[in-house]
Homo-oligomer: A and B are copies of this chain.
Amino acid sequence: MKDFFRVVDIGEVLALRPGFGRLGTETVALSGAFGRVLAKDAVSAGDVPPFSRTTVDGWAVAAASTFGAGETNPSLLKIAGEVGMAEIPAFALARGEAARIPTGGCLPKGADAAVMLEHAEAVDGDFIEVYRSVAPGTHVIMKGDDVAAGEAAVPAGTRLRPQELAVLAAVGAARVEVFRKPVAGIVSTGDEIVPADRTPGPGQIRDMNASALSGQVAAAGGLPRSFGIVPDDGDALHAVMRDALASCDTVLVSGGSSVGARDFTVETILRFPGAEILVHGVAISPGKPTILAKIDGKAVWGLPGHVVSAMVVFEVMVRPFIESLAGLSRPRPRPPVSARLAMNAPSVSGRTDFVRVRLAAGQGGGLDALPLFGKSGEIRTMTAADGLVRIERDDEGLAAGTLVDVFLME
């Protein structure tokens, strides 16, 4: 097969995501749910908090009883009782009354605010003077303020951060249904490639791509599974891809930077019945020789052999596909960091360029982005980099001093 690249834009590639669906679900304990994607709205059976409570030590009051109070003209309130911790007060407050209450205590009926201990003084065992007026709602959280009964406390498709775990605990979701983690099979190809634990022989080098891609899969919330190194042999690659497809949700084949090797990956993909090549060449740099195929409904990627190119393609295209598979429908913004380009970054019109940059404190107090030029086989430029700057396909480069968005590679 010797077809020319039908080079497409990044946007066209990303638009193919829905064609791969999303994974099934599993139920996990809340304590192990950090970073997972919620599969069903977490609807609260009851109100959170389940009763109106104070947030300070002090006195429960009807706010109106304190209106106009100040240092020189305190309100005189009758002590109607005391609320203990973890108890529902049996009494109600009338206007002009107050009840001693601890932080987190349940407001008596009739109370809608609390006065801090230090803003009141006991006159005797029966009365207090309040030196500051409070508005309704001051120093209290009313029943249902956090989550109302029947409300979706956390919507499906949300990646669970610590605060979402807290809300799930509050609504009693001790076990939660989440999407399965996408399993990504990782295959390196090349006669000259040896694993990290082997000393390269003459003309051989160690495999960097499998390690880089495994880390990126993990960072994207997936589970990397290594299928080792396959020599440039169609039958061998076919056998490994068949294994990988049987046990993984998506497969990443890297290597084959030469035209021959690329053809070889495409030929091997097309040996699978029903396989479709959806993308063969993307208008980006680095990363042009990217392949996306569909086999048995699964995304199979042919990534460039140069490690920097493979990493950029992962970040820009593979990661969004993995997140889509993982059910992430409400991605939190990962907003870029703003920095000033420290030198000119040339680019070629007609493709989207991704320039590696290192961030440093700028002169004006902001950040400078220092472009790291280097070959796409050199991992050095990636370890020195903090992030990527995107140069759009119609731009012919960016001038020094331009304010750019830096997408962090963490």
Contact = CB atoms under 8 A, between A and B. Distances in A.
A213 B162 contact: yes
Interface in A162-201: 162-174, 190-192, 195-201
Interface stretch (A16-24, A65-73, A332-340): A332-340
A213 B113 CA distance: 29
B206 A169 contact: yes
A359 interface: yes
A5 interface: no
A168 B163 CA distance: 35
Contact of A377 (B55, B117, B160, B215): B55
Which of A49, A216, A337, A383 counts the most B-chain CB atoms under 10 A from its CB?
A383
A203 interface: yes
A410 B163 CA distance: 10
A379 interface: yes
Interface string A135-172: 00000010001110000001000001111111111111
Given A50-B205, A174-B197, A226-B31, A376 B164 contact: no
Given A104-B257, A170-B379, A333-B359, A306 B55 contact: yes
A9 B28 CA distance: 40
A209 B257 CA distance: 51
A172 B145 contact: no
A55 B203 contact: no
A376 B174 contact: no
A219 interface: yes
A203 B85 contact: yes
Contacts of A235: none
Interface string A328-355: 0000111111100000000000000000
A216 B57 contact: no
Contacts of A55: 257, 306, 375-377
Contact of A383 (B154, B209, B408): B154
Which of A209, A213, A338 counts the most B-chain CB atoms under 10 A from its CB?
A338
Nearest to A163: B382
A25 interface: no
Contact of A211 (B162, B215, B333, B336): B162
A167 B214 contact: no
B57 A259 contact: yes
A86 B194 CA distance: 10
Nearest to A367: B335
Contacts of A145: 378, 380
Given A219-B34, A380-B146, A169 B103 contact: no
A51 interface: yes
A224 B162 CA distance: 12
Contacts of A306: 55
Given A55-B306, A170-B206, A211 B85 contact: no
Contact of A165 (B204, B214, B226): B214
Contact of A196 (B172, B191, B201, B332): B172
A383 B203 contact: no
A14 interface: no
A216 B106 CA distance: 29
A400 to B, nearest CB: 20
Contacts of A307: 166
13 contacts: A31-B226, A85-B190, A85-B203, A86-B192, A88-B203, A102-B260, A104-B257, A146-B380, A162-B311, A162-B409, A163-B383, A171-B206, A174-B195
